Amino acid sequence: MFEGDLGELDTADLLAAASEYGRIQDRAAVRVLEAALAFADRHAVVWGEPRPGYEQIHVYGGDGCPGVAEFAPVEFGAVMRMSSGAAAALIGEALALRHRLPRIWAAVLAGNAVAWRARKIAHACLALSLEAAAIVDRRVVGIVDTVTPGALQRIVKAAVWEADPEAAKAQAEAAARTRGVFVAPSDDHGTKRIWVRAAAGDVIRFDATIDDLARALKTLGDTDDLDQRRAKAIGWISDPAAAHQLLEVARHLARTQPAHPQPADAQPTDSQPTHARRTHITPDDGAEDRADGEDNGAYGGASPGWDDAMYDGGDDGTHDVACDGGDDGADEVGRDGGGGDAFTRLALAGTLPGRLAAIKRAAYSDGLGAGSGRRNRHTLYVHLTDRTLASGNGVLRVEELGPLLAGQLSELLGHDQIVVKPVIDLQDQVSVHSYEIPDRIRERVRLQHPTDMFPYSGAEATSRMDQDHITPYDRTGPPGQTTADNLIPLGRLHHRAKTFGGWRSRRLPTGAVDWTSPHGFRFVVDHIGTHPVVDTAEAARVVASSRAEARQAPRPVRS
């Protein structure tokens, strides 16, 4: 293996060196799987009788695999510089290869199948029975390394379905009837994605309501295009009283504003009709009948969803709404037909934020929301520097959302009423003499530590996450033990691993947390992440102490 400057090699030798490094990486990945198996074998039992909160046995690899003590992946993941969940998946896939897919595992050991592809196959088969997994094992063992990853994925999927057709059919039927509203966990520059899977009729009506609100925003002077206004409509739908008020105001403007104000001496042209288009909405069936005979089918035959009772209708059972009949394309015809001329919209655009805020206030003062009490409040924690606050430019962080540009904060807040709370000074020391943690201290701990403080855990600290006393609480000890300096946020598994699994932690003068694993591996976790500590003497001392404690512990029993 070449150890010098790779830039000194000619192209052929450089490619040969890269190939050799790849083979070394593949062999190392196999050894990692073997290490995971050996580690799992040593942790197939738990100490003492299983009790609530104590360590239990979990089966990570599927039917036919042995169980593993649930705290084992926690330490294995830390030394591998990965999260506990990733380590549990690695151990489970290694066990699945050995016990459920022996042909593929033999190919991996022989160097005929790369480890990461074999792991993907094992993961795809986790829900299969042992017998069904054996069918997949036979079907794909010869092609693990001979086809592209995409082709392998499709072949494995087909093999899984063939191995257990009843389960595949049940999964397909379950997927077909699955309904819900799903929000993507990640964000991109202040934008989130939402998926809706619901009954067709409900989706059509929901889509029509979004169109109504998009038209209303246009009537009030919003100059954004249709798609952007439809996106803004989501925020209004979240506040039904305000959405109702917005539609009322927009309808009033649509009735009172001239559809095409023109100079008195202007001559009509083909692109400037002398009359405003009228849309007739029949309350009985909601079908649209356009006076000019046009029907672009934008609603698929369904009502636009406006509340017919809000219109001034005649005795013929129809209600009239003036719509803009301009010539700017689909944005003005069909599902976005309201809003007045472009000049009027531009004139209104400058005062749009204030007008929308006033509409929301009116909704709860004398509108549909009057008397309904105060809306539920949501607290946003915004972290930013004094420079960003002063200049209005820069990057800030919103808890449970992520980084945003400073200019996007107003978009996040919308037009709701905002209560600015005093800044919490984290230098102030607040403590109580009890094991229970009051909300004011929980809030400080979350602000001081925005993530789970366990090694290599990236989980964001939320109000639902456990908070652990670094120095264990002593009911006979001194007062003031429950303080922000003695608390850190931990996920439930990590909290239990510390309480019952032999992990120890201590606060460093820098504010970081120094962790020691049951076998003496040390990690320092601070505001920029996890740092492994190489301290051979300290590790040896801790290991000797751990082994001495183990010799005095009760005999292990299987759970």
Residue type, 287: A
Q: Which two tokens stand for residue 149?
A: 């990853």
57: which residues sit within 8 A by CB, 6+ positions away? 44, 45, 46, 50, 67, 68, 69, 70, 558, 559
Rounded distance between C-alpha atoms, residue 371 and residue 296, angstroms: 42
pLDDT confidence of residue 45: 83
Angle between helix axes 102-109 and 84-99 (nearest 10 degrees) is: 100
On whether the CB atoms of residues 213 and 237 are closer than 8 A, the answer is yes
pLDDT confidence of residue 468: 87
pLDDT confidence of residue 329: 37
Q: How far is CA 260 from CA 268, 277, 349, in A?
A: 11, 10, 18
How deeply is 147 buried, as exposed, middle or buried, from its count of CB atoms within 10 A (0-12, 13-18, 19+)?
A: middle
pLDDT confidence of residue 66: 94
pLDDT confidence of residue 348: 60
Task: Show pLDDT as tens, one digit a residue, over the chain (559 residues).
Answer: 677 889 889 999 999 999 999 999 999 999 999 999 999 999 988 766 667 778 889 999 999 999 999 999 999 999 999 999 999 999 999 999 999 999 999 999 999 999 999 999 999 899 889 999 999 999 899 999 888 888 888 888 888 888 888 877 787 777 767 778 888 766 666 678 888 887 767 888 888 899 999 988 988 888 889 999 999 898 888 888 888 888 888 888 877 765 544 444 444 443 333 333 333 333 333 333 333 333 333 323 333 333 333 333 333 333 333 333 333 333 433 344 444 455 555 556 567 777 777 777 777 776 665 555 555 566 777 777 778 777 878 887 777 667 777 777 766 666 556 666 656 655 555 555 555 666 777 878 887 888 899 999 978 887 778 888 888 877 776 777 788 888 999 999 999 999 989 999 999 988 899 999 999 999 999 888 899 997 656 545 544 554 555 455 443 333 3
pLDDT confidence of residue 81: 95
Closest residue by Cα to residue 464 from 419, 536, 399, 551 = 399
- φ/ψ of 114, rounded to 5, equals -75, 150
pLDDT confidence of residue 372: 56
